[in-house]
Structure 1
């Protein structure tokens, strides 16, 4: 969750896109884009952590604690 144009969001997206993750889903939207959040249930109830771009890694309907840095995200992937 974060503004796709912001540097912190792009750094999280780059961490994901550097990997081969078959059978995975990536959803990204600005927290103020209510239309996208309503249209994509995966984005619901995913607030920013510490007002920074935030990644949620979920599997089998369970999400791990949200992270804000590419390093933290890399460890979860």
Structure 2
């Protein structure tokens, strides 16, 4: 989650895009777009976005595997360690 044009979002996406991650899903939303995050229709269509707040008001990555998510991170270095 993060503002689509934000530098913090770009740094997280850069980490993800540098890796080959087969069988992975990337769900992305801008919290400023309340329709994308908060509507029941979107949560129903993309349940990965439900109850996923920003950490410290910054772009945040949630890494999940086997129906369990690790603690959210919001720096490129933290995300690199998780992947």
TM-score, normalised relative to structure 2: 0.86
Runs of 5+ in structure 1 lacking a partner? none
| Deviation for aligned residue 1:41 | 1.4
Higher Rg of the two aligned structures: 2
1:64 is aligned to 70
| Deviation for aligned residue 1:51 | 0.5
Q: Distance in 2 between matches of 1:49 and 1:14?
A: 19
The 4+ residue runs of structure 1 with deviation greater than 2 A are 32-38
Q: Distance in 2 between matches of 1:33 and 1:60?
A: 29
Matches within 5 A, 1:19-30: 19-30=19-30
Residue 75 (structure 1) aligned to one of 73, 77, 81: 81
Query: How many residues get paired?
Result: 77
Q: Distance in 2 between matches of 1:41 and 1:60?
A: 15
